[in-house]
Structure 1
């Protein structure tokens, strides 16, 4: 920080715009390392404002690479790829092999995040060839330049890909990169600590939790030698959660999940994504004033949504459905305005991301409140409300992580709902059969179906499974022409739905079924069976 401040003073005194751009770039790196993404984005944008008025240069491409890295850390894969492509074009125009090598790596990083977000491990997936295309291009240039550091970093990137594909080649590449950083540990503490984490994840993917734990402990010993980094700290917590899940130590997994949630809440307060988006729009406006008219309506909608989100934190569950309705309305608006530029698609995804984050904050607040309650009935009610909110968060995560902006992939959505309820109650049924036709469901219908399934699953975990010797859960969804039928069954003591008609759960099911214009009912057959049928225009895959 001191060096950047001194450089800024010198640039101001000498009226040297090139030096001032360098100072802004250094400030951006400092704030990026501290995970203060808002400040980092501000300084990178200032540097671009100076450098874009000049001829293409290595420094200009370098700033775009940093912005690509910044977007990658925030899981904005599309923006990460966009900035990396811009940097690559600049380096190709000026003939910089080193710049091209780094840009290929940034492109690979962006596509890796998309590939992993889709939970892919299939090498036949189209993205697999794209990933290796950029990885091989970067590796070829690294050997051509005889850049040992780059070769080590690319080896780790290749090892990560193989680990996600559950291929033991991952260990060969990861250990090659780790050995390089260990030889020069004083210079590369950050990279060495990060490599140990990646190696631990590789062992977990290969079903070797004991070796994963050893790698994590080794990484922590390195981590303690350097200043705390939020990015590394978060990766340690995430990997410990995976380790304890793999060893079925669920209390420990929950403990680390709470630590991760606290850290992400801290980062969320420092990184206002709405402000970052406004900076991006301001920069684009300086380049093309013509975009102002096309984006004016979207900016007003985003401002209104931000006000709704602040109110959401204060009033809780009552405004939750209103926020979701605003999100669905936003998607419908997007479909009607097909002529609006690609920038609008990015705005929609960012809006959903903010709603999802606020849902997580509300869930955390309910969890904290439940811990302070002494009445068990009140705590149980609070936990059920938390499960409902988390089902909404799952819906929004499904929306912004997929290419379909207003549709949810039903098999993944249902599986994640079941996993979420199981984690909330701390155990799984003895047998779990989920058979969902591969299909997409509109966002508004997915919202209603998600609330119904959440109530049914919560009821099964509360009343059916504790009384069953060998608990069984069956869920099926079948698309027959234009009718979708969903069946949820358990082997509990049985319930026909005629009692407790005034309970909150039954009222929620009744209300959501009415909005779906659906038929539904309960019956007893070796437990409780619920069926739901409604018209669905979305075709199966």
Structure 2
């Protein structure tokens, strides 16, 4: 607490110093000398360690005092914003970033604008305000292109891809919806085109490693993480090392090398604490907790989740999200008419230096006492919240277990019904009645397969479509007594997990259509049977296609299925999931079904 107080006091003195001695006029001085000094100082600020940012602010203010140019004020505010960001003081960071952007746009200082927008985007992203984060990243890329600044174009592309990745992960979307990897490789190719963009490569190596880690391609994840760590170490980019060791550790852990994985993540935590990055430390605590939880080691997971919640609450992430959004909205709505208070009051403050300094010290002391008081209250509330969150997590785990048990019991009950139907069918003499029972049994088998998949998964609401299709086909083939060597079957499933509310009707539709193929498509037909099943996902829908080379279905039967319960059921289930279906008769029959990714909730849940 004392160390933090000293830092705030030092910042206050710098602000008073810069305000008192600054002047409103914009005299050029020696332009060539000024530009050389400014360029050197900007380059220096980009290579300094985090602890030195406040010292470089003082040098920018001194440069402004000497040459009376506004660019130095822009970089001073930008550096202060970066310093507050790294300390996880997001509201103060946004204020300084907006001050820098305001001065830059008012005095047409173009060069730092892309970097300022990227910082603003990061602040929104870290507080989960993705719409404003995407908007800021777009403005960063646009301004970088206007400046013809290749370095910033590369950085802005990487930032936009990272935001897209974070959006997909935050809202639990399917990894198939994440297109950021293509942007990552495109930007990496640009970064690798010249040695002067070497520093930019580190983040791309780490982001690509994260992508492959989430795709469960752990070998590629480890390869890219190591490349990033090697380069970050050579360039002394310690914050970047926290990402490299994090993905390297998580990939090893989930690959089975748990001891090695936890050592890498612990190294990342150690570095983040060393460079005083509380927000990054919070993220790493969550990563460690998730690793232990994934292997069922809740005893080790709980302490790390408690640490995560403690830091999360201390940073007031949700409160910051609201304040940061309000700050930028106010700025965007008034920036055309807003005058810079810093420049307007410069001459007046010069004659009142001592008064301001004393007033600042008094205000600082009052604020310090107030902060200590509120810190005590907030600490007590945080302890209470931690206890509540722990109970919520325990209840969530119990609910997950109950859902899995429910699916298990439903699966068992369906298998009992299926067995009863089999016994009844074996006793039937009438072929039509026996066939009806067999069809009903197969439909029940299709539902049973889905529930069997659900109770074995950690997420009891998502169905693994690749596994489901494989088991369903085996069940149908076995029920018809078909020799797989006598039929060609091509199966392509390009979708991973689907919500059970969509997977259930989709599975029944597939079961019904494939069953009909085996019953009718190759009856009184001379040739080698071929069945092609394809499930693919586009940006807006999931598409099912089932084709056979049999005798073909009459179009009239599809259009008016008066006597076909199966086709009626297919159309009813298609309507339930707001889908569109049709058939094409060409060298057999092709059934096509298009399901939108976002379905009306009156019909079913979203995918």
TM-score, with structure 2 as normaliser: 0.48
Partner of 2:407: 433
Match of 2:518 in 1: none
CA distance in 2, matches of 1:144, 1:270: 40
Do the aligned partners of residues 121 and 176 (structure 1) sit closer, same or farther apart at CA in structure 2, a change above 3 Å counting?
Answer: farther
1:421 aligns with 2:425: no
**CA RMSD, Structure 1 to Structure 2 (Å):** 3.7
User: Are 1:202 and 2:221 an aligned pair?
Assistant: no
- 1:110 deviation in Å? 0.8
| Secondary structure class of the residue paired with 2:315 | helix
Counterpart of 2:55? Answer: 2
Could you say which structure has the greater relative contact order, defined with CA pairs below 8 angstroms and 6 or more residues apart?
A: 2
In structure 2, the residue matched to 1:30 is 83
Q: Structure 1 stretch 207-216 or stretch 255-264: which is displaced more? A: 207-216
Distance 2:278 2:148 in 1: 36
Misfit runs of 4+, over 6 Å: 424-430, 474-479
- Of the three residues 88, 91, 99, the one matched with 1:46 is 99
User: Do residues 127 (structure 1) and 178 (structure 2) align?
Assistant: yes
Distance (Å, rounded) in 2 between the aligned partners of 1:539 and 1:429:
19
Q: List per-residue Cα deviations over 1:308-354 (Å, max 9, x = no partner).
A: xxxxxxxxxxxxxxxxxxxxxxxxxxxxxxxxxxxxxxxxxxxxxxx
Contact conserved, 1:28 with 1:44, CA < 8 A, in 2? yes
Give the equivalent residue in structure 2 for 1:188. Answer: 237
Aligned to 2:220: 169
- Superimposed CA distance per residue, residues 454-489 of structure 1 (whole angstroms, 9 cap, x where no aligned partner): xxxxxxxxxxxxxxxxxxxx999979xxxxxxxxxx
Find the partner of 1:138 among 181, 187, 194.
187
**Counterpart in the other structure of 1:282:** 330
- Candidates 197, 203, 210, aligned match of 1:160: 210
In the other structure, the counterpart of 2:509 is: none
What secondary structure does 1:144 align onto?
A: coil
Equivalent position of 1:365 in the other structure: 384
Query: Kindly tell me: are residues 76 and 198 of structure 1, through their superposed partners in 2, closer, same or farther at Cα, counting changes over 3 Å?
Result: farther
Match of 1:227 among 275, 278, 294: 275
| Cα 1:96/1:14, change in 2 over 3 Å | closer
1:198-347 alignment runs, 5 A limit: 198-220=247-269, 222-223=271-272, 226-268=274-316, 272-287=320-335
Q: Structure 1 CA distance, aligned partners of 2:145 and 2:161? A: 17
- Spell out, residue by residue over 1:503-541, the C-alpha distance to the aligned partner (whole angstroms, 9 max, x if none): xxxxxxxxxxxxxxxxxxxxxxxxxxxxxxxxx845555
What is the rounded CA distance, in whole Å, between the counterparts of 2:260 and 2:317 in structure 1?
36
Contact 1:104/1:138 (<8 A) preserved: yes
Aligned to 1:151: 201
CA distance in 1, matches of 2:227, 2:137: 26
Q: 1:437-461 CA deviation, whole Å, 9 max, x = no partner?
A: xxxxxxxxxxxxxxxxxxxxxxxxx
Measure how far apart 1:367 and its partner are: 5.4
Query: For 1:366 and 1:197, how far apart are their aligned partners in 2?
Result: 28
C-alpha distance in structure 2 between counterparts of 1:286 and 1:255, whole Å = 46
Cα 1:363–1:427 change in 2 (3 A) is farther
Structure-2 separation of matches of 1:40 and 1:16: 23
Match of 2:74 in 1: 21
What is the distance in 1 between the residues matched to 2:123 and 2:141? 17
Unaligned ranges ≥5, structure 2 = 1-53, 338-379, 411-459, 462-498, 503-600
Conservation of the 8 A alpha-carbon contact between 2:206 and 2:243: no
> Whose radius of gyration is greater, 1 or 2?
2
CA 116–102 in structure 1, closer or farther in 2 if over 3 Å, else same? same
Quote how far apart the aligned CAs of 1:160 are.
0.9
1:322 alignment counterpart: none
Match of 1:179 in 2: 230
Aligned positions of 1:47-86 closer than 5 A: 47-55=100-108, 57-86=110-139
Give the direction of change, closer, same or farther, for the CA distance of 1:170–1:260 in structure 2 (3 Å limit).
same
**Runs of at least 5 residues in structure 1 that lack an aligned partner in the other structure:** 290-360, 371-382, 391-418, 437-473, 480-535
Alpha-carbon shift at residue 56 of structure 1 (Å): 6.6
Using the alignment, how far apart are the partners of 1:366 and 1:36 within structure 2?
21
Aligned 8 A contact 1:56 1:90 in 2: no
State the Cα distance separating 1:117 from its structure 2 match: 2.1
